[in-house]
């Protein structure tokens, strides 16, 4: 199969320019392509992981990826899919975040000699002369056409700043610069980037009189259209310090039945024959597919050892076997005994605040082991512990362990 067929079969492809040309090009040549990542946080999240899976499939087929860190564009902020203007970040924070991105990307992409490039658009965007940029690049953009782009439509209702309006020009210039420096002829990105990608390809044709191509891949959403990767603690991060390997494993272990096959196709390298077999399982057997999904994705992000630990922790909690030490654990001293359980849960971070814990109790969602907590003033006593362990459950399967030092 061609890499385009692989991406299509696994459900990645949403839109692409010049489909026949791209198909022929990818079959006959090894091309250079890029995907951009704006470092607006100090870790990649699972939405970024989708893009890196596309990169990995392309690299396995012999094509060269450029991971473009948006050190320059992050200072403006992409309005795509945003209801409000992004918080302005300092250059120091952006640089720090970019360095963290680089370390995480090296787990998925082979950056050995000639295999892939990692670049930062701050290297050219921050050196631009604004008037020269407007004369050289801005003249090729129609404001009327830009205002019809999906990436701007949503923001027009609340107000689109002129700062953000420049983002399309900057991203298009990135494509042009990478084409000039590295003969990069294709940009890929999430489907919300389609307008920006088209503008960049058009700019290359106008300035260089050469063909350029674009391809968008699906955004990671549930079967009913909701964005995946959101937890009660926020985004599902790839950094183990922000989302523990256990919590990461449990997220995928608990996805809806309808989303299992899609996630297996997009987020693992399992053969599609096996993906379809697992996705066809019904009723209780679908749990086999969910366990496979959770293990495979955790292994890719955190490595084999951490995936096995997370799997063992899940077995300890839900199957009566395995190592309980791998369950997310907090320690307290005997001084905490006699205090209100809610105070201890809030101080250890098991709940974000006492008010959140109180709401959880009122909604019937807080348990000690399998016993529902009904009293918000319940005291934490030694009798609640078994072998120095106290298991706290939030909702159906979100467990934490409290131990006494």
Report pLDDT digits (tens) over 273-319: 999 999 999 988 999 999 999 999 999 999 999 999 888 888 777 65
Q: What is the pLDDT of residue 180?
A: 96
Catalytic residue check, 312? no
Query: How confident is the prediction for the chain on average, in pLDDT?
Result: 87
**pLDDT top residue among 221 and 12:** 12
Catalytic residue check, 210? no
pLDDT (average), residues 10-29 = 93
Task: Tell me which of 178-192, 239-253, 311-325 is least confident.
Answer: 311-325
pLDDT (average), residues 65-86 = 71
**pLDDT top residue among 123 and 395:** 123
pLDDT (average), residues 322-339 = 79
Which residue in the list 230, 291, 358, 359 is annotated as catalytic? 230
Task: Tell me which of 99-103, 376-380, 396-400 is least confident.
Answer: 396-400
**pLDDT top residue among 53 and 390:** 53
Which residue in the list 231, 242, 343, 359 is annotated as catalytic? 231
pLDDT (average), residues 131-136 = 91
Catalytic residue check, 257? no
Burial of 85 (0-12, 13-18, 19+ CB in 10 A): middle
Which residue in the list 57, 82, 140, 358 is annotated as catalytic? 82
- Residue 170 burial (CB count, 10 A): 21
pLDDT at 175 over 80: yes
Task: Tell me which of 23-32, 76-85, 320-329 is least confident.
Answer: 76-85
Which residue in the list 17, 32, 38, 48 is annotated as catalytic? 48
Q: What is the pLDDT of residue 391?
A: 81
| Strand arrangement of the beta sheet that strand 213-217 belongs to | 13-16, 213-217, 184-190, 32-37, 64-69, 117-120
Which residue in the list 86, 315, 340, 359 is annotated as catalytic? 86
Task: Tell me which of 84-98, 236-250, 342-356 is least confident.
Answer: 84-98
Catalytic residue check, 226? no
pLDDT at 124 over 60: yes
Which residue in the list 171, 292, 298, 312 is annotated as catalytic? 171
Question: CA nearest 47: which of 238, 260, 259?
Answer: 238
Catalytic residue check, 401? no
Residue 300, Cα to own-chain centre: how many angstroms?
13
Q: Give me the helices (H) in 137-244, please.
A: 143-146, 150-156, 162-165, 167-182, 194-208
pLDDT at 138 over 80: yes
| Strand arrangement of the beta sheet that strand 371-372 belongs to | 329-332, 398-404, 389-394, 366-368, 371-372
Catalytic residue check, 102? no
Which residue in the list 40, 154, 218, 348 is annotated as catalytic? 40
Q: What is the pLDDT of residue 83?
A: 45
Dig out the tokens for 85 from the structure. Answer: 């203007």
Q: What is the pLDDT of residue 390?
A: 82
Catalytic residue check, 231? yes
Catalytic residue check, 90? no
Residues 6+ apart with CB under 8 A from 308: none
Catalytic residue check, 45? yes
How far apart (Å, rounded) are the C-alpha atoms in residues 160 and 145?
15
Catalytic residue check, 48? yes
First to last CA, the chain: 57
Reduced to 3 states (helix: H, G, I; strand: E, B; else coil), residue 370 is: coil
Q: What is the pLDDT of residue 231?
A: 66
Helix (H) / strand (E) element for 400: namely strand 398-404
Reduced to 3 states (helix: H, G, I; strand: E, B; else coil), residue 79 is: coil
pLDDT at 351 over 90: no
Dig out the tokens for 214 from the structure. Answer: 């674009």
pLDDT at 80 over 60: no
Q: What is the pLDDT of residues 184-235, one digit of tens each?
A: 999 999 988 898 999 999 999 999 999 999 999 999 888 878 888 876 667 8
**pLDDT top residue among 141 and 150:** 141
The reported pTM is 0.79
Q: What are phi and psi of 13, to 5 degrees?
A: -75, 130
């Amino acid at each position: 199969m061609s890499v385009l067929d692989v991406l299509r079969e696994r459900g990645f492809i949403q839109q692409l320019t010049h489909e026949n040309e791209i198909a022929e090009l990818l079959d006959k040549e090894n091309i250079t392509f890029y995907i951009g990542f704006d470092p607006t946080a100090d870790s990649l999240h699972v939405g970024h992981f989708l893009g890196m899976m596309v990169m990995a499939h392309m690299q396995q087929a012999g094509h060269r990826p450029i991971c473009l860190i948006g050190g320059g564009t992050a200072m403006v902020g992409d309005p795509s899919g945003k209801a409000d203007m992004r918080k302005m970040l300092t250059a120091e924070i952006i640089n720090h975040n970019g360095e963290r991105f680089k370390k995480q990307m090296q787990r998925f992409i082979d950056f050995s000699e000639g295999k892939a490039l990692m670049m930062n658009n701050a290297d050219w965007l921050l050196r631009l002369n604004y008037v020269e940029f407007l004369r050289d690049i801005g003249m090729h953009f129609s404001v009327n056409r830009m205002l019809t782009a999906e990436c701007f439509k949503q923001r027009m209702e609340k107000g689109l700043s002129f700062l953000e309006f420049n983002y399309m020009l900057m991203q298009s210039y990135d494509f042009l610069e990478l084409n000039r420096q590295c003969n990069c002829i294709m940009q890929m990105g999430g489907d919300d980037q389609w307008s920006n990608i088209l503008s960049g390809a058009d700019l290359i044709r106008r300035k260089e009189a050469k063909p350029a191509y674009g391809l968008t891949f699906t955004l990671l959403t549930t079967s009913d259209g909701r964005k995946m990767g959101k937890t009660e603690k926020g985004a599902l991060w790839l950094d183990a310090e922000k989302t523990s390997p256990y919590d990461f494993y449990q997220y995928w272990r608990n996805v809806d039945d309808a989303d299992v096959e899609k996630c297996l196709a997009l987020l693992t390298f399992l053969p599609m024959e096996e993906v379809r077999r697992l996705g066809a399982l019904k009723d209780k057997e679908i749990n086999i597919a969910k366990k496979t999904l959770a293990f495979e994705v955790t292994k890719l992000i955190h490595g084999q050892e951490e995936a096995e630990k997370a799997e063992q922790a899940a077995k300890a909690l839900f199957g009566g076997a395995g190592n309980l030490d791998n369950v997310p654990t907090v320690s307290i001293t005997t001084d905490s005994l006699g205090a209100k359980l809610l105070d201890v849960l809030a101080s250890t971070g098991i709940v974000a605040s006492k008010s959140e814990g109180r709401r959880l109790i009122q909604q019937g969602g807080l348990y000690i082991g399998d016993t529902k907590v009904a009293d918000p003033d319940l005291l934490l006593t030694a009798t609640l512990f078994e072998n120095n362990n106290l298991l706290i459950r939030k909702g159906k399967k979100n467990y934490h362990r409290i131990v006494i030092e």
